[in-house]
Amino acid sequence: MSGMFDTSVEVDRPVEHVFAYLADGRNDTEFSPRVQSIEKTPDGPTAVGTVFRSTVKDAGVKTSREFRITALEPPHTIRWTEQSKNLITAEGGYDLEPLPGGGTRVRIFNELDGHGLGKLLVAPALRAARKDAPDFGRRIKAAVERS
């Protein structure tokens, strides 16, 4: 079983600034409380093929995650896919649209997919993600505007 959640938020920063911030997945710790730590390889600017490895805590359980950047089209599109072998994995991205006055509309989305026992867990995980999506968008907005 799989399913998707998404949300949109308007950020009071130019699209280039928002793109640069979100393309550096190491910033995830600033707006995602579940991300405990994150590393990037290789060093240098984020590009297609860049990998972000993180430790996350969901429902009290720590897991290791590995995401690979699959598309990067400055300053509008960021896509990733999870390479980890977890019960629930994600594939998603950001779509960025410049707004009149210099702001940016950010659409955040993820498709969650259950594997093995994760097929039973993906429905409650999706409900939780959908419930949190508006707050997640607000946390991204606040973090980008602080940067």
Q: Confirm whether pTM is higher than 0.75.
A: yes
According to the model, what pLDDT value does residue 1 have? 62
Check residue 68 and give its pLDDT.
97
End-to-end CA distance of the chain: 37
Residue 2: the pLDDT is 81
Say what the pLDDT of residue 86 is. Answer: 86
Please report where in the chains the tokens 């977890």 appear, as a residue: 86
- For residue 108, which phi and psi values (nearest 5 degrees)? -110, 135
What's residue 37's pLDDT? Answer: 94
pLDDT score at 76:
97
Residue 40: band (very low, low, confident or very high) from pLDDT cuts 50, 70, 90: very high
- What is the pLDDT, as a whole number, of residue 42? 96
The single residue listed with the structure tokens 């039973």 is: 120
- Is 29 a residue whose pLDDT tops 80? yes
